[in-house]
Amino acid sequence: MATKVLSLRLPEEIAVEITAVARVNGVSVSRAIRMAIEDYVAAERDNKAFKGRLEKRLEEDRELLERLAK
């Protein structure tokens, strides 16, 4: 799988906490953050309100792309 490097700014307190949680679980901070993001994305996929916003965005993007293609 290809990877993409992202920069992330966290409040000091959260950075300290995620570091501690990662250490206790024996994973890297990067892995702990990836796991949290994976959980967030999975939860949003099951969220009906998110799906509604997604459909709206898809339609807006479709309309824009069709206008640009003319």
Tell me how many degrees the CA angle 34-40-45 measures, rounded to the nearest 5: 125
Model confidence pLDDT, tens digit, residues 4-31: 999 999 999 999 999 999 999 999 999 9
Q: Which amino acid belongs to residue 55?
A: E
User: What one-letter code names the amino acid at 58?
Assistant: L
56 in Cβ contact with 45 (< 8 Å): no
Taking a C-beta distance cutoff of 8 angstroms, is the pair 30, 22 a contact?
no
Q: Which of 30, 14, 13 is nearest to 22 (CA)?
A: 30
pLDDT in tens, 27-66: 999 999 999 999 999 999 999 999 999 999 999 999 999 9
